[in-house]
Chain A
Protein backbone atom coordinates (compact mmCIF):
# COMPACT_ATOMS: atom_id res chain seq x y z
CA UNK A 1 0.00 0.00 0.00
CA UNK A 2 0.85 3.68 -0.09
CA UNK A 3 3.26 5.12 2.46
CA UNK A 4 3.55 8.88 3.01
CA UNK A 5 6.44 10.41 4.94
CA UNK A 6 6.19 14.02 6.12
CA UNK A 7 8.91 16.32 7.46
CA UNK A 8 9.52 18.15 9.65
CA UNK A 9 7.25 17.14 12.52
CA UNK A 10 7.56 20.61 14.04
CA UNK A 11 8.40 23.90 12.34
CA UNK A 12 8.88 27.18 14.15
CA UNK A 13 9.19 30.44 12.19
CA UNK A 14 8.98 34.17 12.76
CA UNK A 15 6.03 36.09 11.38
CA UNK A 16 6.76 37.11 7.79
CA UNK A 17 9.14 34.23 7.12
CA UNK A 18 8.43 31.41 4.68
CA UNK A 19 7.64 27.86 5.74
CA UNK A 20 8.19 24.69 3.72
CA UNK A 21 6.81 21.24 4.54
CA UNK A 22 7.90 18.23 2.52
CA UNK A 23 6.28 14.86 1.82
CA UNK A 24 7.35 11.76 -0.05
CA UNK A 25 5.15 8.94 -1.27
CA UNK A 26 5.86 5.38 -2.30
CA UNK A 27 3.20 4.40 -4.85
CA UNK A 28 4.01 5.73 -8.32
CA UNK A 29 0.34 5.26 -9.29
CA UNK A 30 -0.81 7.91 -6.80
CA UNK A 31 -2.12 10.94 -8.65
CA UNK A 32 -3.90 13.20 -6.16
CA UNK A 33 -2.04 15.12 -3.44
CA UNK A 34 -4.08 17.32 -1.06
CA UNK A 35 -2.87 19.38 1.89
CA UNK A 36 -5.02 19.89 4.98
CA UNK A 37 -4.81 22.36 7.86
CA UNK A 38 -6.04 21.32 11.28
CA UNK A 39 -6.65 23.88 14.00
CA UNK A 40 -6.76 22.82 17.63
CA UNK A 41 -9.77 20.68 18.49
CA UNK A 42 -11.16 20.76 14.96
CA UNK A 43 -11.21 18.53 11.92
CA UNK A 44 -8.74 19.07 9.06
CA UNK A 45 -9.72 21.32 6.17
CA UNK A 46 -8.37 21.29 2.63
CA UNK A 47 -6.15 24.27 1.84
CA UNK A 48 -4.73 23.27 -1.54
CA UNK A 49 -4.37 20.20 -3.72
CA UNK A 50 -2.49 19.15 -6.82
CA UNK A 51 -2.93 16.41 -9.38
CA UNK A 52 -0.19 14.50 -11.10
CA UNK A 53 -0.56 16.29 -14.42
CA UNK A 54 0.52 19.57 -12.82
CA UNK A 55 3.91 20.52 -11.38
CA UNK A 56 2.95 23.55 -9.33
CA UNK A 57 -0.15 25.28 -8.04
CA UNK A 58 -0.53 28.58 -6.17
CA UNK A 59 -3.29 30.17 -4.15
CA UNK A 60 -2.32 33.53 -2.70
CA UNK A 61 0.33 32.86 -0.01
CA UNK A 62 0.35 29.10 -0.37
CA UNK A 63 1.77 26.93 -3.13
CA UNK A 64 2.34 23.25 -3.71
CA UNK A 65 4.98 21.68 -5.94
CA UNK A 66 5.06 18.10 -7.18
CA UNK A 67 8.00 16.09 -8.49
CA UNK A 68 6.58 12.85 -9.85
CA UNK A 69 9.96 11.42 -10.77
CA UNK A 70 11.26 11.79 -7.25
CA UNK A 71 7.85 11.06 -5.71
CA UNK A 72 7.80 14.08 -3.46
CA UNK A 73 5.63 17.14 -3.04
CA UNK A 74 5.96 20.23 -0.88
CA UNK A 75 3.82 22.93 0.68
CA UNK A 76 5.17 26.49 0.66
CA UNK A 77 3.67 29.24 2.79
CA UNK A 78 5.03 32.75 2.26
CA UNK A 79 4.69 35.77 4.53
CA UNK A 80 3.54 33.61 7.43
CA UNK A 81 1.09 35.04 9.95
CA UNK A 82 0.23 33.88 13.48
CA UNK A 83 -3.09 32.52 12.22
CA UNK A 84 -1.14 30.09 10.04
CA UNK A 85 -0.17 28.26 13.25
CA UNK A 86 -1.77 24.81 13.02
CA UNK A 87 -1.03 21.20 12.14
CA UNK A 88 -0.63 20.53 8.43
CA UNK A 89 -1.15 17.12 6.82
CA UNK A 90 -0.20 15.97 3.37
CA UNK A 91 -1.96 13.03 1.73
CA UNK A 92 -1.71 10.90 -1.39
CA UNK A 93 -4.24 8.75 -3.18
CA UNK A 94 -4.71 6.91 -6.45
CA UNK A 95 -5.80 3.66 -8.08
CA UNK A 96 -3.17 1.62 -6.28
CA UNK A 97 -4.89 2.18 -2.96
CA UNK A 98 -8.54 2.19 -4.07
CA UNK A 99 -8.37 6.00 -4.04
CA UNK A 100 -8.34 6.06 -0.25
CA UNK A 101 -6.18 8.94 1.03
CA UNK A 102 -3.09 8.01 3.01
CA UNK A 103 -1.93 10.78 5.32
CA UNK A 104 1.46 11.86 6.54
CA UNK A 105 2.04 12.20 10.28
CA UNK A 106 1.55 15.94 10.29
CA UNK A 107 3.66 19.07 10.83
CA UNK A 108 2.99 21.41 13.71
CA UNK A 109 3.68 24.91 12.39
CA UNK A 110 4.24 27.65 14.96
CA UNK A 111 4.43 31.24 13.76
CA UNK A 112 5.85 33.62 16.35
CA UNK A 113 4.62 37.22 16.23
Chain B
Protein backbone atom coordinates (compact mmCIF):
# COMPACT_ATOMS: atom_id res chain seq x y z
CA UNK B 1 0.00 0.00 0.00
CA UNK B 2 1.23 3.47 -0.82
CA UNK B 3 1.53 5.94 1.98
CA UNK B 4 3.65 8.10 4.21
CA UNK B 5 5.22 6.64 7.33
CA UNK B 6 6.57 8.45 10.35
CA UNK B 7 8.62 6.83 13.06
CA UNK B 8 8.74 6.54 15.93
CA UNK B 9 5.20 7.26 17.11
CA UNK B 10 6.45 8.39 20.53
CA UNK B 11 9.89 9.81 21.30
CA UNK B 12 11.40 10.99 24.54
CA UNK B 13 14.42 13.26 24.57
CA UNK B 14 16.62 14.46 27.35
CA UNK B 15 17.45 18.14 27.42
CA UNK B 16 20.56 18.93 25.40
CA UNK B 17 20.16 15.97 23.03
CA UNK B 18 19.51 16.01 19.33
CA UNK B 19 16.86 13.63 18.00
CA UNK B 20 15.88 12.69 14.45
CA UNK B 21 12.33 11.98 13.32
CA UNK B 22 11.92 9.76 10.32
CA UNK B 23 9.54 10.37 7.39
CA UNK B 24 9.34 8.03 4.41
CA UNK B 25 6.88 8.05 1.51
CA UNK B 26 6.35 5.62 -1.36
CA UNK B 27 3.88 7.81 -3.23
CA UNK B 28 6.52 9.16 -5.63
CA UNK B 29 5.74 12.68 -4.40
CA UNK B 30 8.11 15.53 -5.15
CA UNK B 31 7.13 17.81 -2.28
CA UNK B 32 7.53 16.99 1.40
CA UNK B 33 6.79 19.07 4.48
CA UNK B 34 7.28 19.10 8.24
CA UNK B 35 4.68 20.72 10.47
CA UNK B 36 4.60 21.21 14.22
CA UNK B 37 1.26 21.01 16.03
CA UNK B 38 0.64 22.53 19.44
CA UNK B 39 -2.78 22.82 21.13
CA UNK B 40 -4.64 25.83 19.74
CA UNK B 41 -1.82 26.69 17.31
CA UNK B 42 -2.84 24.71 14.27
CA UNK B 43 -0.16 23.40 11.94
CA UNK B 44 2.97 25.51 11.68
CA UNK B 45 5.46 24.90 8.87
CA UNK B 46 9.00 24.02 9.94
CA UNK B 47 10.70 23.07 6.65
CA UNK B 48 9.65 22.02 3.19
CA UNK B 49 11.28 20.47 0.15
CA UNK B 50 9.93 20.59 -3.37
CA UNK B 51 12.71 18.58 -4.99
CA UNK B 52 15.52 16.26 -4.00
CA UNK B 53 18.62 17.97 -2.59
CA UNK B 54 16.75 21.21 -1.99
CA UNK B 55 14.78 22.46 1.00
CA UNK B 56 13.53 25.74 2.40
CA UNK B 57 12.86 27.13 5.85
CA UNK B 58 9.29 27.51 6.94
CA UNK B 59 7.84 29.83 9.57
CA UNK B 60 9.47 28.21 12.63
CA UNK B 61 12.74 26.65 11.39
CA UNK B 62 14.95 27.77 14.27
CA UNK B 63 16.34 24.82 16.20
CA UNK B 64 15.50 22.30 13.46
CA UNK B 65 17.37 20.85 10.50
CA UNK B 66 16.42 18.60 7.59
CA UNK B 67 17.93 16.78 4.63
CA UNK B 68 16.47 15.53 1.35
CA UNK B 69 19.02 13.15 -0.13
CA UNK B 70 16.38 10.82 -1.52
CA UNK B 71 12.96 11.51 -2.97
CA UNK B 72 11.37 9.10 -0.52
CA UNK B 73 12.89 10.43 2.68
CA UNK B 74 12.78 13.73 4.56
CA UNK B 75 14.14 13.32 8.12
CA UNK B 76 13.81 16.11 10.67
CA UNK B 77 16.40 16.68 13.38
CA UNK B 78 15.32 18.53 16.49
CA UNK B 79 18.49 20.07 17.89
CA UNK B 80 19.32 21.18 21.40
CA UNK B 81 18.89 24.76 20.15
CA UNK B 82 15.12 24.23 20.00
CA UNK B 83 14.00 25.63 23.34
CA UNK B 84 10.55 24.11 23.50
CA UNK B 85 10.56 20.93 21.43
CA UNK B 86 7.70 19.07 23.14
CA UNK B 87 5.01 18.85 20.45
CA UNK B 88 3.28 16.65 17.88
CA UNK B 89 5.23 16.57 14.61
CA UNK B 90 3.56 15.85 11.30
CA UNK B 91 5.21 15.02 8.00
CA UNK B 92 3.31 15.42 4.73
CA UNK B 93 3.88 15.00 1.03
CA UNK B 94 2.16 16.07 -2.16
CA UNK B 95 2.56 15.15 -5.80
CA UNK B 96 2.49 18.56 -7.35
CA UNK B 97 1.68 22.16 -6.79
CA UNK B 98 -1.72 22.86 -5.30
CA UNK B 99 -2.75 19.26 -4.72
CA UNK B 100 -3.81 17.24 -1.70
CA UNK B 101 -1.25 16.79 1.06
CA UNK B 102 -0.95 13.29 2.51
CA UNK B 103 0.03 13.20 6.17
CA UNK B 104 1.81 10.63 8.26
CA UNK B 105 0.44 9.51 11.62
CA UNK B 106 2.71 11.89 13.51
CA UNK B 107 5.46 11.65 16.11
CA UNK B 108 4.85 12.90 19.62
CA UNK B 109 8.11 14.24 21.04
CA UNK B 110 8.45 14.82 24.76
CA UNK B 111 11.44 16.35 26.50
CA UNK B 112 12.13 14.72 29.86
Contacts and interface: CB of A to CB of B under 8 A. Distances in A.
A32 B90 contact: no
A99 B98 contact: yes
A34 B101 contact: yes
Interface residues of A, number: 27
Given A89-B42, A100-B45, A105-B41, A42 B106 contact: yes
Chain B, interface size category, equals: 20 to 34
Given A32-B98, A43-B90, A93-B98, A105 B42 contact: yes
Given A43-B90, A99-B98, A100-B45, A9 B40 contact: yes
Interface stretch (A14-22, A44-52, A71-79): A44-52
Interface in A54-113: 89, 91, 93-94, 98-106
B93 to A, nearest CB: 11
Nearest to B108: A41
A106 B43 CA distance: 8
Contacts of A99: 97-98
Contacts of A89: 42-43
A98 B48 CA distance: 11
Interface of A: 6, 9, 31-32, 34, 36, 41-46, 49, 51, 89, 91, 93-94, 98-106
